[in-house]
Structure 1
Amino acid sequence: MPRLDIGRLRSWTVVPAPRFIGGNRVELLQGGDELFPRMRQAIAAAQREVWLATYIFHDDPAATTLAVALKEAAGRGVAVHVVVDGFGSIKTLAGVRALFADSGVQLEVFRPLDRWYAWLQPGQLRRLHQKLCVCDEQVAFVGGINLIDDRHDMNHGWTDTPRLDYAVQLQGPLATQVHATTRAMWARAHLLRDWREEVKTVARSARPVKEALSKVRQLRGVQPLAPAAALGDPEGPMRAAFLVRDNLRQRRVIERSYVEAIRQARHSVDLAVPYFYPGRSFRRALRHAARRGVVVRLLLQGKVDYRIAALAARALYDELRSHGVRIFEYTPAFLHAKVAVVDEQWATVGSSNIDPLSLLLNLEANVVVRDREFAATLRQRLQQAFDLSVEVSGVPARTGWRRWLHRGAVAWAANLYLRVAGITGRY
Structure 2
Amino acid sequence: MKMEWRDGNRLRLLANGEQYFPRVFEAIRRSKETVLLETFILFEDQVGKQLHAVLLEAAQRGVKVEMMLDGYGSNDLSDEFISTLTAAGVRFLYYDPRPLVLGMRTNIFRRLHRKTVVCDGVIAFVGGINFSSEHNSSYGPEAKQDYAVEVRGPIVDDITRYVRQAISSQQVPRRWWGGRSHRPAHNATPGEAQVLFVWRDNDEHRDDIEQHYITMLREAKQEVIIANAYFFPGYHLLREMRSAAQRGVTVKLIVQGEPDMPIVKVGAELLYNYLVGGGVEIYEYIRRPLHAKIAVQDTQWSTVGSSNLDPLSLSLNLEANLMIHDRAFNQVLRNELNRLLAEECQRVEESQLPKQNWWQLSKSVVVFHFLRHFPAIAGWLPAHTPKLAQVPPPVQPEMETQDRVDPKERVKP
Equivalent residues of 1:53, 1:185 under 8 A apart: no
TM-score by length of 2: 0.82
Equivalent-residue separation in structure 1 for 2:334 and 2:124 (angstroms):
22
CA shift for structure 1 position 103: 2.6
Q: 1:99–1:270: structure 2 CA closer, same or farther, 3 Å change rule?
A: farther
Match 1:53 to one of 18, 35, 38: 38
Equivalent residues of 1:83, 1:186 under 8 A apart: yes
CA shift for structure 1 position 311: 1.4
Q: 1:99–1:409: structure 2 CA closer, same or farther, 3 Å change rule?
A: farther
Equivalent residues of 1:161, 1:332 under 8 A apart: no
Q: 1:73–1:126: structure 2 CA closer, same or farther, 3 Å change rule?
A: same
Residue equivalent to 1:380: 335
- Following superposition of structure 1 onto structure 2, how do residues 245-260 of structure 1 map, counting pairs within 5 Å? 245-260=200-215
- Following superposition of structure 1 onto structure 2, how do residues 11-410 of structure 1 map, counting pairs within 5 Å? 16-92=1-77, 94=79, 96-98=81-83, 100-114=85-99, 116=101, 125-151=109-135, 158-160=139-141, 162-188=143-169, 191-192=170-171, 237-387=192-342, 388-393=344-349, 394-408=351-365, 410=367
User: SS at 1:332's partner residue?
Assistant: coil
Equivalent residues of 2:231, 2:268 under 8 A apart: yes
Equivalent residues of 2:10, 2:153 under 8 A apart: yes
Equivalent residues of 1:167, 1:349 under 8 A apart: yes
Residue equivalent to 1:5: none
Larger relative helix fraction:
1
- Higher mean C-alpha deviation, range 25-34 or range 305-314: 305-314
- Percentage of identical aligned residues: 35
Q: 1:96–1:261: structure 2 CA closer, same or farther, 3 Å change rule?
A: farther
Equivalent residues of 1:151, 1:160 under 8 A apart: no
Equivalent-residue separation in structure 1 for 2:31 and 2:195 (angstroms):
24
User: SS at 1:100's partner residue?
Assistant: helix
CA shift for structure 1 position 92: 3.6
Equivalent-residue separation in structure 2 for 1:147 and 1:173 (angstroms):
26
Equivalent residues of 1:326, 1:392 under 8 A apart: yes
Equivalent residues of 1:50, 1:133 under 8 A apart: yes
CA shift for structure 1 position 275: 0.6
Tell me which amino acid in the other structure corresponds to 2:22.
P
Equivalent-residue separation in structure 1 for 2:143 and 2:263 (angstroms):
22
Tell me which amino acid in the other structure corresponds to 2:320.
A
Equivalent residues of 2:174, 2:203 under 8 A apart: no
Task: Calculate the aligned-residue CA RMSD, in Å.
Answer: 3.0
TM-score by length of 1: 0.79
Equivalent residues of 1:23, 1:239 under 8 A apart: yes
Equivalent-residue separation in structure 1 for 2:377 and 2:209 (angstroms):
21
Residue equivalent to 1:228: none
CA shift for structure 1 position 366: 0.2
Equivalent residues of 2:282, 2:347 under 8 A apart: yes
Equivalent residues of 1:140, 1:175 under 8 A apart: yes
Equivalent-residue separation in structure 2 for 1:37 and 1:99 (angstroms):
22
CA shift for structure 1 position 313: 1.1
Residue equivalent to 2:399: none
Equivalent-residue separation in structure 1 for 2:262 and 2:64 (angstroms):
41
5+ unaligned residues in a row in structure 1: which ranges?
A: 1-15, 194-214, 223-233
Q: 1:126–1:151: structure 2 CA closer, same or farther, 3 Å change rule?
A: closer
Deviation by residue 1:171-199 (Cα, 9 ceiling, x = unmatched): 111111111122222223xx249xxxxxx
Tell me which amino acid in the other structure corresponds to 1:134.
V
Equivalent-residue separation in structure 1 for 2:301 and 2:253 (angstroms):
16
Q: 1:395–1:349: structure 2 CA closer, same or farther, 3 Å change rule?
A: same
CA shift for structure 1 position 406: 3.5
